Structure 1
Amino acid sequence: MIDPRLLRTDPELIRRSEVRRGGSGEVVDALLAADAERRSSIAAFEELRAEQKSLGKQVAKASGEEKQELLSRTKQLAAEVKQKQADSDAAGERFNTLIKQIGNIVDDVVPDGGEDDYVVLETIGQPRDFAAEGFTPRDHLEIGELLGAIDVERGAKVSGSRFYFLTGVGAQLELALISYAMAKATEWGFTPILPPALVKPTAMEGTGFLGQAAEDVYHLERDDLYLVGTAEVPLAAYHSDEILDPASLPLRYAGYSPSFRREAGSYGKDTRGIFRVHWFDKVEMFVYCDPEDAAAEHQRLLEYEKEFISSLELPFQVLDLAAGDLGLSAARKFDCYSWLPTQGRYREITSTSNCTEFQARRLSIRSRFDDGVAPVATLNGTLVAVTRVIVMLFENHQQADGSVRVPEALRPYLGGREVLEPIKR
């Protein structure tokens, strides 16, 4: 949620941000009108309440006809107060509904435009020239089947499209990636956490996933619980309704959890293999900090992601996403895209977002700063989204005989194995 004070002090800032996100400034006009109505209703209610209290004192001192008149006015006033209370509540509800539609204020340095208007900040590593090596690269699914690592046919049989089994070395590779990611996060000072994968609506809404992203979320109506699409959600809600000790900041957590996504709107996209699926496991970094430190923490998370991807010996690019491609909560977002040989292009494998105070304000997470109690900043960053990293490892490190070379950094987590060999049929 944006700071409501901005609405009164700088509504044009909000309007510009919404337009940059690809929306309309009209929502700001509606919000201003709702705010005026809300404040007017509150003032009218408080005025009547003050009169009601004053009459109560007068009734206690009056007698005879005067007392009867005062009692009559008191009765009338009670009905008016009740109505004004209802008007005030309704105006407040309209205001709250509208302000939750407003995205975080986009950072001035974020590029303008939409999904295709990102800026490439860095290109790290060099894609392999398979033609020079004398063979045509196989895609990750063909490699996975040769290794006995991926079974999408039985995944579809058991659960439907976009589900899969990781088998044999595929399952071992997932466990290795998770263990390696958690070990690196711990090395960097993050506290490991295994969060719940089911959360209440307050957690999902507080992190901004029940707005524009609601159609991509799985909801268990009977229990009114949501399956998380990322550990960001329970990690963000972990300190909800708390005032954090400023001496403890920054708080850095690394959460491992399954992630569930409907992939709404992705019909026909990446239908082969495990690049785009309804369920995958992920390690997510999450930070609570002083808002003044948020930009530096954002760069820190990006550097961790770059270090991790580089250690897996994957060629990749770092993207600064455009304003129209930011999620509701992000003020700025960096993505890392790894090279996918069989598609001849870079594809997303990690992202990191600076959500400033947006989520903390919605979740009531504050700290005591020099100028008083105020919301903290929150940031998130993917360390490893397992299925996509497996895709990249298989395709980038494949060899002509169908085997896959294991990056040196990952070998200790696979029992020292240097190569994944095709299974004998």
Structure 2
Amino acid sequence: MLRRCLSYRPPVNVKNIFQKGITVRWVQTSGHIEDDALHQIPPQLNYSHLVNNADTIEQNMKLRKYDSDIVQKVKQLFGTRESIMEKKQQLTKERDETNQLIRSAHNKEERQQYIDRGRHYKEQLKLLDDKLATVESEMSAHALLIPNDTHPETPIGPEENAKILKIVGKQRMEEGLLDHLTLAEKLDLVDLGQAAKVSGSKFYYLKNNGAWLEMALVQYAMQKAAEHGFSAVITPDIVRASIAYGCGFQPRKTEASQIYDVTTASIVNTSAPKMVLAGTAEIPLAGMFAEKMLKEESLPQRVVGFGRAFRAEAGHGSAEERGLYRVHQFSKVELFVVATPAQSDGVLEELRKLQEDIFTELGICFRVLDMPTEELGASAYRKYDIEAWMPGRQAWGEISSTSNCTDYQTRRLDIRYLSSQFKEQVGPKDVRVPWHVKEKWVDFCHTLNGTAVAVPRVMIALLETFQRQDGTVEVPEPLRKWIPGQPKILS
């Protein structure tokens, strides 16, 4: 198998490499491969599956409130593609026959006649190739808007149809409790006014013990994940748009994008690829595995990443969203797992159990929800949300979620694994095996993600849950060692 990687340097005269019908363009410039060509990952979509299951997929999209007309458009374009391929195959056959006649021509006039016919076939094939490229590009663009399948146990409908799986802890219901913003300003933990002057509304400064509380939450979550076998990662916050879209973070046609674009083009480099700020560390964590072939025996692979999350859309300024509840930028510790299809359902429950352990240990009252179809993002096959009871609001607020994305992201980022049975069948020798032999032992991985700690939301729950009558706040025991002086009370 040809691996597309930075260390590979193709011969100077190589223009295209064909692998499984996918074209990968290499451009040789001063000993380096053109940067933009390297990072365009062709999605490995199963168009036959989409077409053969169009009615089921269309119904799934309706349940998830997606434009289901896309499916029929893909089906139509697939039929057009098949027709072009058939014409191309027939013309290629006739061209090859003509080439044979050129070689066996009896005289110059007869030979010229066949050459003219061959030239005609060449022109027709070029037109078909151009048409095929246009159709395939349009078909891919539409197919990439189709969301993942949905777990059969997922509730149907809007958010209010979420199924409550459990409630942990006791809700504080007494009167006179302060909201987190009042508490944070009284304790000099936050400054929204000055942040609005510097960056705009929905930004904030965390100060004094507010800053230390964020650090403590990050350290605590990273350590908890490490204890459960997760490898630590600090992720980049700027990623290629193609990676973000490959993870399923492109907006629906009827929605505004939550993604911040980053302009990188300049007079010197006008062809720079489109870059965006990561909306979650899930995106660069998934990118860590892009275009990789993993061994089945190495799965599942667990990583925990710390990064900043950037969201351009941050609510409508309602009373429920004041303060830190919905902001443009926040710190987050993200759990990410690459697994085999057989492992992914079990891994999803493991992620949920770890999240429950974190919030139970912090002393937060929370509930676990099996989210309904209309609340699933494009990549999610099944999603659990965890909502904390926020006494200052006297309402539940989402603090975490975890999703099984099955092969939705891995088909778009080309993340596969080689079956452990491959060595048993081929033998232990380290030999080069042709791709057509190896292919039957290769499948796409599944990816899963979960929020360990989204700092502002968890801070809200902690401040409001552990507030005391005098306006001070008790610090949960697991966090104290990461705050200078190890205070038990914030005052």
TMscore range, shorter length: over 0.9
Q: 1:417 and 1:96, CA in 2 relative to 1: closer, same or farther beyond 3 A?
A: same
Choose which of 34, 53, 57 in structure 1 pairs with 2:100: 57
Change in CA separation of 1:265 and 1:125 when aligned onto 2, cut-off 3 Å: closer
Structure 2: how far apart are the matches of 1:366 and 1:205? 18
1:28 to 71, 76, 83: 71
1:159 to 199, 222, 240: 199
Q: Which has the higher helix share?
A: 1
| Residues 408, 418 of structure 1: 8 Å contact kept | no
Look up the match of 1:336: 386
Matched, 1:106 2:146: no
The whole-number CA distance in structure 2 between the counterparts of 1:380 and 1:79 is 50
TM-score relative to the length of structure 1: 0.94
Partner of 2:262: 220
Give 1:55 deviation, angstroms: 2.3
Following TM superposition, by how much is the alpha carbon of 1:191 offset from its aligned partner in structure 2, in angstroms? 0.4
Which one is further off, 258-267 or 64-73? Answer: 258-267
**Is residue 83 of structure 2 the alignment partner of residue 43 of structure 1?**
no
Of 10-19 and 233-242, the range deviating more from structure 2: 10-19
Contact 1:52/1:77 (CA < 8 Å) preserved in 2?
Answer: yes
What is the identity percentage for the equivalent residue pairs of Structure 1 and Structure 2? Answer: 34
Mapped to 1, the partners of 2:360 and 2:315 lie a distance apart of 32
> Which residue pairs with 1:187 in the alignment?
227
Shift of 1:25: 3.5
User: Helix, strand or coil: the match of 1:234?
Assistant: helix
> Does residue 88 of structure 1 match 2:132?
yes
User: Could you tell me how far apart the structure 1 residues matched to 2:85 and 2:218 are?
Assistant: 52
Matched, 1:175 2:215: yes
Task: Work out the CA distance in 2 between the residues paired with 1:421 and 1:24.
Answer: 50
Q: CA deviation at 1:286?
A: 0.3
User: Contact 1:45/1:88 (CA < 8 Å) preserved in 2?
Assistant: no
CA drift of 1:234 comes to 0.5
Q: Which residue is 2:459 aligned to?
A: 390
The equivalent residue for 1:125 is: 169
CA distance in 1, matches of 2:400, 2:46: 29
- Alpha-carbon spacing, 1:351–1:239, altered in 2? closer, same or farther (3 Å): same
Deviation of the 1:270 alpha carbon: 4.4
Q: Which residue of 1 aligns with 2:160?
A: 116
Shift in Å at residue 44 of structure 1?
A: 1.8
Separation in 2 of the partners of 1:267 and 1:27?
34
Q: 1:114–1:325: 8 Å Cα contact kept in structure 2?
A: yes
- Which residue of 437, 441, 454 corresponds with 1:372? 441
Aligned partners of 1:80 and 1:137: how far apart in 2? Answer: 77
- The structural deviation recorded for 1:416 is 6.3
Structure 1 distance, partners of 2:368, 2:314, is: 26
CA distance in 2, matches of 1:106, 1:269: 34
- Contact 2:314 2:328 (8 Å CA) reproduced: no
- Does structure 1 conserve the Cα–Cα contact (< 8 Å) formed by 2:202 and 2:314? no
3-state DSSP class of the match of 1:382? strand
Partner of 1:408: 477
Q: Is contact 1:173-1:414 (8 Å) kept?
A: yes
Aligned residue identity for 1:114? P
CA–CA distance in structure 2, aligned partners of residues 342 and 108 of structure 1:
37
Give the CA deviation at 1:52.
2.4
4+ aligned runs moved over 3 Å, structure 1: 264-271
Deviation by residue 1:388-421 (Cα, 9 ceiling, x = unmatched): 1111110000011111111122222225634333
Offset at 1:214? 6.4
RMSD (CA atoms):
1.7
Change (3 A) 1:267 1:88: farther
Query: Per-residue deviation at 1:34?
Result: 1.1
Alignment partners' CA distance in 1, 2:108 and 2:317: 79
> What is the CA–CA distance in structure 1 between the aligned matches of 2:316 and 2:101, rounded to whole Å?
69
Distance 1:33 1:52, change over 3 A: same
Specify the alignment match of 1:275 in structure 2. Answer: 325
CA contact (8 A) 2:173 2:391 kept: no
Distance 1:162 1:392 in 2: 18
Per-residue CA deviation, residues 281-306 of structure 1 (Å, 9 max, x unaligned), is: 00000000001111111111011111
